[in-house]
Amino acid sequence: MKNSEQEFLKSAHGGDSKIGDINAILEWVRAQNDRVEVEVERIAFKDMTHWGFDALSGSLRHDSGRFFSIDGIQVSTNWGTISSWNQPIINQPEIGYLGFIVKRINGVLHFLVQAKIEPGNVNHVQISPTIQATRSNYTQVHKGRKPLYLEYFRNVKSDNVLLDQLQSEQGARFLMKRNRNIIINVDEDIPVYDNFEWLTLQQIKTLMRFDNLVNMDTRTVISGIQFSDPSVTCTDALRYLADSTETAKFEYESLKSVVTTEGAVHSINGIIHFLTDIKSRYDLIVDRIPLNDVKQWAVLPDEISRGDGKYFKVIGVNVAISNREIMSWQQPMIQPSQPGICAFVCKKINGILHLIVQAKLECGNRDIVELAPTVQCLTGDYRQPDSQPVPFLDYILGVSREQVVVDCLQSEEGGRFYREQNRNILVIADESFPDKLPDHYIWMTLNQLFYFNRFNNYLNIQARNLLAAIAFS
Amino acid sequence: MKNSEQEFLKSAHGGDSKIGDINAILEWVRAQNDRVEVEVERIAFKDMTHWGFDALSGSLRHDSGRFFSIDGIQVSTNWGTISSWNQPIINQPEIGYLGFIVKRINGVLHFLVQAKIEPGNVNHVQISPTIQATRSNYTQVHKGRKPLYLEYFRNVKSDNVLLDQLQSEQGARFLMKRNRNIIINVDEDIPVYDNFEWLTLQQIKTLMRFDNLVNMDTRTVISGIQFSDPSVTCTDALRYLADSTETAKFEYESLKSVVTTEGAVHSINGIIHFLTDIKSRYDLIVDRIPLNDVKQWAVLPDEISRGDGKYFKVIGVNVAISNREIMSWQQPMIQPSQPGICAFVCKKINGILHLIVQAKLECGNRDIVELAPTVQCLTGDYRQPDSQPVPFLDYILGVSREQVVVDCLQSEEGGRFYREQNRNILVIADESFPDKLPDHYIWMTLNQLFYFNRFNNYLNIQARNLLAAIAFS
């Protein structure tokens, strides 16, 4: 396995594409969009076939008990200024596949992507992994078609597994949800079905500069591919791919570089100490309560929402799509009240690029806090005069244009979230930016973030999304 | 912080002791034992002051709601042959300190140990960390004395933190319990109170060869101290300290050696794949149920137990001890039905020592499975004709004497477990031992075990106990 991993990482970065240049890919996505009809209309919960409110728990659930449910929770914590609250949350305990098949073509690794429709997508079709399948999905609870390429993942030999990690999803929306982020290699020729195409990692990263084009599932999987030259500075690291199509500049050195990176502000043990200290001091107690008892939220005939309109609402939709496993269905979705901002502030310290990482408690976290971007908030948070100031937000919104390396809108997963998008920003601070950070914030190098990203429940989805964008912006 | 870590690991291994030879230490423990009176008598639950059964949940709990409670759980899983069961379990959500203060004395790092009485200890006094304190304990819920040395841990500067990890405890007995395993350095002179003494790591490891002398909390903390020469073979590794008192033979090279260890059967990513695959396929669903509803268990006036006497019982005890924070108190304890066996089979593969590690599901696990010793079972399991065969158990019990490197009885934590001890065994298999392993078992090197041990909830307490014994046996 080790040899193929190394080869993978060497060949994944850069190289010639098969489909051609970015314009050809954009044209392909556009053509896919033209070929499908998508209709999403809001309906009352009672009109959702196979979905209903459980008499006992009040949860909004599928008759089969599978897929996911909308439950009520009571949260208690000694973190932050609000010590207890109620909210609805998505409960999806099954671990699904988010997987890519990769294959060496003309000496360069290509990723088999799907131009996939999801009902919640703002622009309908997005670049998606080869497979996105919940366990209910691939065990065919809904009697639809078996997901394409499933058998490659089910029957893969260990030697062909290049990456296989459990990664968390939005802790404010999901109760301890995780998915299996997996990349497998094939050597043989395989069929390329309708809507599928081979792209290089470089192309996928380039497509991430466009708003809402690369879906969340793609971004989380590729965030696991390590970026590794220990000597990279901010400029080199962040602008590398714009200037270069060489292969193999990025070697599989990341683990080694964690050890040899003399300039890191904190050691790995120091970062573990930072997390242990926080996890020891803060409690996160989440109890399930009946959905009807969720305070400040009302279960109405066609939505579950707060009187003040804050945060999000749960809605029911009827979906009709022409190129999906099932042509039409009903389901609940989450509709956000406003877009959010996820941003990292970076700075060169001791000659090495460091990022400001915050330990963030979210109610659905499996282990109290996860490592999050410097800023992660709803835009509504800071527009209201009574809200707490968000550290570093003013700085990020006020920096000069040339310090901004990434700035685009990225969609959340369109199978659960209705037209949710967050602004992803990455800025480079200059020398005058203070090194001292508030409590719960820590400087980490890129390699240290990649190091922790291999393990369960360290980096949250928002941090991983930005990580996916960083390497090649 | 990095410099002090490296110094720490260099100087922790070997060197001259302050107290003198092992006999002097044994004599000191004996003297401590002679100085105290210990009386533990079983009492009915109703005679336990401040403890009672909660009217709503049926849980056996302290009036303050703190310390711990005995709850009922319903477990469902698709792992193994038993798909669902009920049992009582200890619920102790607070994270406490298990901590050592270390200090360089005559150039060698010494650990401040306590000769500590715990009510459940078979031999009363055991070598314990500088501090063992639950949050209830150190916030003085029980109005006792503040734990000695607490202020050193509360006020420690990051630079003096040498190790700080959250580690799990027995997953079959505790519901997701974890403690903070911490080692801090002091440079200044500090008071050495009654019952405390400075010992070297080598001495602690040597004391682990004696039955029930080094307590579980000490063993889990020192299991985090990495053992690291990548070229060590089984003979060198396991017999090193018996022949040597040199300092600094073990360098802080373990992380590097994980990368450079060419001979490891699996890469780190390969081991993560092994775990991800298992965690994706198996469910562990644990629901709280009223203690009175726990099937096959009866809540009697003075014990909670099964009709067939299997596994363990919950008992009530009155404790009177002369050198503890409080002189006498009542509490529930867990009394096992029989001792257990925890054993690793090791084998040299590609010139490197490898251990057979199993992924083991236990109901109290925070993340479905943890890495466990090759064999971990109650002795009762394999003595009964109707029980499933335990892989590798016959091999371990049948190997020749010279293949056995570790074989002693080690106590579980005497604050919760009444006279519980497990046989800890480590055997070296010869060349003829097959490399192929059953499902859920994997070959790992010592360095790989240490690598994963830094992160939350990878190695279980039984694996860590054996790891603590390995380095210097």
> Which pTM was predicted?
0.89
Q: Which of A182, A273, A283 sits opposite B158 (nearest CB)?
A: A273
Interface residues from chain B to A (CB-CB < 8 Å): 1-2, 5, 93, 95, 158, 161-166, 180, 182, 255-256, 258-259, 266-270, 272-274, 276-277, 279-280, 283, 285, 366-367, 454-456
Confidence of residue A99 (pLDDT cuts 50, 70, 90): very high
pLDDT at B378: 79
Q: What is the pLDDT of residue A14?
A: 45
* pLDDT score of B447: 81
Q: Which of B4, B164, B252, B368 to probe by mutation at the A interface, max A CB count within 10 Å?
A: B164
Q: How confident is the model at residue A366 (pLDDT cuts 50, 70, 90)?
A: very high
Mean pLDDT comparison of A336-340, A386-390, B8-12, B271-275, highest-scoring range = B271-275
Name the residue among A335, A417, A339 with its Cα closest to residue A381.
A339
CA distances from B63 to A440, B59, B327, B334 (A): 34, 11, 19, 20
Helix (H, G, I), strand (E, B) or coil at B28: helix
Bigger pLDDT: B227 vs A220 = A220
- Which residue out of B255, B275, B352, B451 would a mutagenesis test of the A interface target, given it has the greatest number of A Cβ atoms within 10 Å? B255
Tokens read off for B251: 């360098």
DSSP reduced 3-state for B105: strand
Query: Residues A417-448: pLDDT tens digits?
Result: 999 999 999 999 999 999 999 999 999 988 88
Give the closest residue to B392 by CA, choosing from B366, B365, B372.
B372
Distances, alpha carbon B246 to alpha carbons B202, B257, B292, B441, in Å? 11, 21, 58, 36
Query: What pLDDT, in 10s, does the model give residues B36-78?
Result: 888 999 999 999 999 999 998 899 999 998 889 999 999 999 9
* Nearest Cα residue in chain B from A264: B2
CB-CB under 8 Å, A258 with B256: no
Interface test with A, best of B9, B77, B131, B455 (most A CBs within 10 A): B455
pLDDT-based confidence at A4, cuts 50/70/90?
low
Q: Is the model's pLDDT at A3 over the cut of 70? A: no
Structure-token match 């937000």, residue found? A393
The contact set of A with B (CB < 8 A) is: 1-2, 5, 93, 95, 158, 161-166, 180, 182, 255-256, 258-259, 266-270, 272-273, 276-277, 279-280, 283, 285, 366-367, 454-456
* Nearest CB partner across the interface for B166, out of A95, A256, A279: A279
Chain B: give the shortest CA distance to residue A389, in Å: 28
- A192, pLDDT greater than 90: yes
Higher per-residue pLDDT: A80 or A257: A80
Pick from A2, A180, A267: which is nearest to B267 by CB? A2
Residue A83 has a pLDDT of 94
Query: Does pLDDT of A250 surpass 70?
Result: no
ipTM reported for the complex, 2 dp: 0.87
Best residue in A155, A259, A281 to probe B by mutation, most B CBs within 10 Å?
Answer: A259
Count of Cβ atoms closer than 10 Å to residue A395 Cβ = 15
Question: Residue B284 in contact with residue B80, Cβ under 8 Å?
Answer: no
- Tell me which residue in B268, B280, B285 faces A180 most closely, judged by beta carbons: B280
- Going by pLDDT thresholds of 50, 70 and 90, the confidence category of residue A143 is low
Alpha carbon B213 to chain centroid distance?
Answer: 13
Which chain B residues touch A166 with a CB distance below 8 Å?
276, 279-280
Predicted confidence (pLDDT) at residue A142 exceeds the cutoff of 90: no
B270 and A455 within 8 Å at the Cβ level: the answer is: no
* pLDDT value of position B385: 57
Dig out the tokens for B464 from the structure. 């860590």
| CATH 3.30.420.10 for domain A255-283+338-468 | no
What is the CATH T-level fold of the domain B4-39+94-225, as seen in this structure? Nucleoside Triphosphate Pyrophosphohydrolase (3.90.79)
Q: Chain B: residue nearest A159 by CA? A: B270
pLDDT, residue A459, reads: 97
**Whether pLDDT at A412 is above 90:** yes
What are the beta bridge partners of residue A303? A315
What SS3 string covers chain A? CHHHHHHHHHHHCCCCCCCCCHHHHHHHHHHHHHHCCEEEEEECHHHCCCEEECCCCCCEEECCCCCCEEEEEEEEECCCCCCEEEEEEEECCCCEEEEEEEEEECCEEEEEEEEEECCCCCCCEEEECCEEECHHHHCCCCCCCCCCCHHHHHCCCHHHEEEEEEEECCCCCECCCEEEEEEEECCCCCCCCCCEEEEEHHHHHHHCCCCCCECHHHHHHHCCCCCCCCCCCHHHHHHHHHHCCCCCCCCCCHHHHHHHCCCCCCCHHHHHHHHHHHHHHCCEEEEEECHHHCCCEEECCCEEEECCCCCEEEEEEEEEECCCCCCEEEEEEEEECCCEEEEEEEEEECCEEEEEEEEEECCCCCCCEEEECCEEEEHHHHHCCCCCCCCCHHHHHHCCHHHEEEEEEEECCCCCECCCEEEEEEEECCCCCCCCCCCCEEEEEHHHHHHHHCCCCCECHHHHHHHHHHCCC
HEC secondary structure over B47-60: HCCCEEECCCCCCE
Chain B partners within 8 Å of A366 (Cβ): 366-367
| A448 contact residues in B (CB cutoff 8 A) | none
Give the residue range(s) of CATH 3.90.79.40 domains in chain B.
4-39+94-225, 255-283+338-468
Question: How confident is the prediction for chain A on average, in pLDDT?
Answer: 85
- Inter-chain residue contact A1 with B266, CB threshold 8 Å: yes
The H-or-E segment that residue B306 falls in is: strand B303-306
**CB-CB: which of A165, A258, A268 is closest to B276?**
A165
Nearest chain A residue to B93 by CA: give it.
Answer: A283
Mutation to test the B interface, candidates A176, A184, A269, most B Cβ within 10 Å: A269
pLDDT band at A256; cut points 50, 70, 90 = very low
According to the model, what pLDDT value does residue A245 have? 30
Cβ–Cβ gap A266/B165 under 8 Å = no
Across the interface, whether the CB atoms of B269 and A166 are under 8 A apart is answered no
Give the number of other Cβ atoms within 10 Å of residue B449's Cβ. 24
pLDDT of residue A385: 57
Q: List the structure tokens of B129.
A: 């960390």
- The residue among B182, B172, B200, B192 whose CA lies nearest residue B95 is B182
Residues of chain B with pLDDT under 70: 1-19, 140-144, 227-262, 323-326, 379-387, 471-473
Q: Provide, as residue numbers in chain A, all residues whose Cβ is less than 8 Å from the Cβ of B162.
A: 269
Nearest to B1 among A267, A277, A280 (CB): A267
DSSP state of B402: G
> Scanning the structure block, which residue is given the tokens 């055997």?
B427
Residue of B160, B275, B280, B285 best to disrupt the A interface, most CBs of A under 10 A: B280
Q: How many angstroms separate the CA of residue B276 from the nearest CA in chain A? A: 6
Residue of chain A with shortest Cα separation from B281: A95
CB contact under 8 A, B269 and A180: no
Specify the pairing of strand A96-105 against strand A178-185: parallel
Chain A CB contacts of B5 under 8 Å are: 267, 269
Give me the pLDDT at residue B242, please: 31
Cα separation, B343 vs B358, in Å, equals 11
Cβ contact (<8 Å) for B93 and A454?
no
pLDDT of residue B257: 38
CB contact under 8 A, B166 and A283: no
